[in-house]
Amino acid sequence: MKNENLYNYILGIADNNLILGQRLGELCGHGPTLETDIACTNISLDLLGQVRSFYQYAAKIAGDGRKEDDIAMLRKERDYLNVLLVEQPNTDFGYTIARQFLFDVYHFLMLTELEKSQDLTLSAIATKSLKEVSYHKRFSSDWIKRLGDGTSESHDRIQMAINDLWTYTDELFHQTEADKVMVAEGIGVDVTKLKDDYYNQVGNILEEATLEIPERKYFQKGGKQGIHTEHLGYLLAELQYMQRAYPNMEW
């Protein structure tokens, strides 16, 4: 492949969309209320729409005849480069919202920078996605406040979810080899620079929600290198079932 770094860089962004989109899609028909069910699946649809643009571009860069569907459906677990945060299970609505919130704040910051990329395709996808992600961030931030500042039960449960998922936040700001090359070329986003802003924004909303900011020092990592938690395999088994059972099927 001529530009393997760019290819891996795109997947590093796009796989987060795919896996989180799939997780949210699991709630279709199972959301706690009709409105939140529809909201989660709408967000899923946005993320999957965005990932199509990314994978179409990655397929073009790969230039070996693979299409967007092959990239989405036919890789093995170790080939997915998403962060560990997005593959965590839905557990309860608190976890679903905490995961969404912790990702949305990052997603918004990252896309704001990606909009300035020298790569015009990536910049166009970022501009388009940002409009949608600002709605996602608004939705998840609102729910953090409602649950945190709600009943003692909702407060405790969202606090527990935030505490548990906090360990996956630091990985968002780790640079991969592909990242470093792409940053040097003016194409990629230097995620290390987003960290302070991220924890400030997250902290402010947690405070407003009367929640405590976890003081964890130990963080999990590995997703960006394809080393995942035990949850991803099951997710992929479901995601890839149709393509594995009926190779080359199309809608």
Angstrom distance (rounded) from CA 197 to CA 192: 10
Sign of CA dihedral 25, 99, 52, 249: negative
**Residue 53 near other proteins by CB under 8 A:** yes
Binding track over 137-166 against other proteins, x by CB under 8 A: -xx--x------------------------
Of the two residues 12 and 21, which places its CB atom closer to other proteins in the complex? 21
CB of 43 or CB of 98, closer to other proteins: 43
Which of 3, 25, 26, 48 is close enough to bind other proteins by CB under 8 A?
A: 48
Q: Note whether 30 binds other proteins by CB under 8 A.
A: no
Q: Does 96 bind other proteins (CB under 8 A)?
A: no
Interface residue with other proteins, options 35, 64, 215, 250 (CB under 8 A): 35
DSSP code per residue over 40-81: HHHHHHHHHHHHHHHHHHHHHHH-SS--HHHHHHS--GGG--
> How does DSSP assign 171-231, residue by residue?
GGG---HHHHHHHHTTSS--GGGGHHHHHHHHHHHHHHTTPPPP--------GGGT---TH
Angle between the N-to-C axes of helices 4-25 and 93-114, in degrees from 0 to 180, rounded to the nearest 10: 150
Cβ 180 to other proteins shortest distance, Å: 27
Residues that bind other proteins (CB under 8 A): 35-36, 38-39, 42-43, 45-50, 52-53, 120-121, 123-125, 127-129, 131-132, 135, 138-139, 142
